[in-house]
Structure 1
């Protein structure tokens, strides 16, 4: 195939679609990116901006069911399932439960780690090469605990990550933690520090991706919804939009949490549930921390950015509900209060929610559609789309080009 003459349509304007478009254009393809809303306005906009190889373990892990079962339907808890009749959700939960063991946890972590490590390297390379200003900082990541027992419980995770991935955290008691990060409140038990993790401001990243793509002559069509593929035999020849048919030689479907709506089109089950996450963005507090933190006991993330300060997380399984749940968003503030001297800024600049593409086994999908052999599906990155974006985009380009892949592609097959 003469790549300079081949046209690729990328459906989806989030970080996975943007990364795919970037690497496809770098490979010489003519690229059109189609986004039903505005570029970067979905889950890539208001997340906490962590680039974290330390987060290699999936949610489905030993003990996960026991820890959460009693609180799943309580609205004041970080993980909440809205009671409703949804056989698809209950099948998803059943499959999730079957994965909560050591063997499957290692399988998922082994699949996730190559994308995480590669993306960290690629971010540094791309941001420098393209002069992308997105508040990139490589200050590491702190897991902070209020209780000594919970703090000690993380030792098993640290041992697992060290043994299997050479990913060791530095352990700090309370005194050492205060020296490392003076913004931490009194009476915390301690924490675990991963010095190689990084963070950025996601909305700035997406604005920079758009600038770079346009400069590369990538066509970006916003406010353009794709309804279906136009097919001829086992190949797609175009996509139907309200503005007509857009034809191409190959296609990338990178639509995140709404991927299940495309199951009939691509001819495969996409076992994704939308996991709603929230964030609050503030001006920086007077005593803003330097290092991003995760508070596992409250499941809240704090990210200090150069131009702001963000609290985020929670997990709500309520379908495609676009309402902001006040109880859920207030958990972000109350969850940060026990850990920081000044847990948030003096006013809220933005309240946000996004649907994460949660797949029960925790392994992304990057694979060809069984029905159309020129359509590649890239989805299911759970809470790590930002952390895995560049490596996923590079893998997409390699698969479409027929080149050797820089990470093994087998773990990301649709039917694994």
Structure 2
């Protein structure tokens, strides 16, 4: 490998970092939802320049990944500005992933026609998983920077400088976006930036493992995706209710923890590429780790739901125990309706009783109203007075 292609990833990463740093400040200040588009533009420009430096002409795989990622970023921008159905988004992402697979970036597990659909589903699933990391306290930028840097070094070790340029450009752009977050290491990229970064990372990992053995393919796909799988599972299990914010503690700890996971898996992937670790054992350990984490997250969710249900039952029982009338009315709606009618009738009759007590003498129990005076009781008829 000549020195110029070897230096191309570093130059692309530095250029993307400078472009993102210079472009995100005015954009985030004026139109915040264009920050992801700016990140995508910086990555695309730096990757295109680095590819021309390393090869002298555009590469088919890198061009396909950048065009498809740009389409996915535009889709995220539409979803950020207005409402977009989930089915439409999945269809567009599947079409973009299909175009990338047709250009040679695919998962080669079986070597048959099944690799195409499996590759499309894997790319779409991991793209949305990386998108969930952006909602997890803005952890995607830091995770993408660490994962992209390790993927670039691994690509150089495997002798693929073009994919190394792509991964390094994305890592540099995400690194340049970190200073614009509210806290250190946490910045929201938005739907456009998160989908773009997830699509590029997934396609880079798939391109590095294409055409190799099944064990290398499994380890090369699972290691970079472990942080995204863990983060997406944590968000799905502990997702806050609509209108509620993510708790400050988990959001503050998510980015450093996932960065540690990304660094560990990146080191393991580099060791597999150098031949220091067996690919099959590494893939098995990574799959077991992902399954264990998923089981722990599901157990935590079930335990939280059971605790909440028990507390709700205890509160209801205590309320009914201290208020038997409320319990009787709660279990007997007909009795409640009759009681309400009686109380309402009594309230309507109270003003009339209070008004009549003003002119009725005390101790007078005689019946009120018109008393008849029959003629048989000795009452003569009134005299007739004739006039004229």
Short-chain TM bin: under 0.3
* TM norm structure 1: 0.24
Q: Name whichever structure is richer in strand by fraction.
A: 1
Bigger Rg over Cα: 2
* TM norm structure 2: 0.25
Whose RCO is larger (CA < 8 A, sep 6+)? 1
